[in-house]
Copies of this chain bind each other. A is one copy, B any other.
Amino acid sequence: MIPQPAINRLCNLFQLLVEMEHAGKFTASSSELGENLGIGAHNVRKDISYLGGMGTSGTGYDITKLKALIGDRFGFKDQKRACVVGLGRIGSALLQHAQIAGSEFFVVAGFDTNINKIETIKTSVDVFPAYQINEIVKKMKIEIGIVTVPVSGAQETVERLIDGGVRGVINFAPVHIKVNKSGVIIKNIDIAGELRFLSALINEQNN
């Protein structure tokens, strides 16, 4: 059982390794990796040790092997299908963006309650009315839902996604979502909240 913060750091490490590999590097030491991630070398080694470890004393880590170790463990090889619900400014930005990110995630569908918006929107991704969420998620075997609807619609939207069979949700609405089905994970991203947090931290420094 790997602690969540460690899983998170290992995800960041994975991304760093992708970039390093791309840049033509072959090996890296824990201190070099730590520097690039903004954490201690200890921490890097400790995190990697949760996966069993595979570094070479005196030399460091083989970038390609380490990347594979993390990727295998967390299932980063398989493509993952996602959908976006709520095609406002951020939603429609993500509808395009998520494919690009060079990541293993593909946005394969978009949803909105507003029929006009559905007809207007210019995108290569198929777009459907919100009442079809359940049906389409099932049909397309979508694993992850990205929710960018207003607070008032978030809970219901997530429930429909879960009914459709989604395993995880990224929720941009600033509300806590209640989940009854076990095994479903919700991750919140709250941009206004982060701004507020940042501003609180700045304020705290001044006293």
Contact of A187 among B151, B169, B174, B197 (CB under 8 A): B197
| Contact B15–A201 (Cβ < 8 Å) | no
Chain A interface, >50% SS class: helix
Asked if A180 CB lies within 8 Å of chain B CBs, one says no
Q: How many residues of chain A have a CB within 8 Å of chain B?
A: 62
Which A residues, 77 to 114, have Cβ-Cβ distances below 8 Å to chain B? 80, 82, 89-90, 92-94, 96-98, 101-105
Bound-complex Cα distance A195 to B84 (A): 12
Per assembly, the copies of the chain total 2
Asked if A64 CB lies within 8 Å of chain B CBs, one says no
Asked if A4 CB lies within 8 Å of chain B CBs, one says yes
Q: 29 A-B contacts, Cβ less than 8 Å apart?
A: A2-B204, A7-B197, A7-B201, A14-B196, A15-B174, A15-B196, A38-B178, A74-B196, A74-B199, A75-B200, A75-B203, A82-B195, A89-B96, A89-B97, A90-B90, A90-B94, A94-B191, A98-B195, A101-B191, A104-B196, A105-B195, A143-B202, A144-B199, A168-B198, A168-B199, A168-B201, A183-B205, A185-B202, A185-B205
Q: Which residues of A approach B to under 8 Å, CB–CB?
A: 2, 4, 7-8, 10-12, 14-15, 19, 36-38, 73-76, 80, 82, 89-90, 92-94, 96-98, 101-105, 143-144, 151, 167-170, 174, 176, 178, 183, 185, 187, 189-205
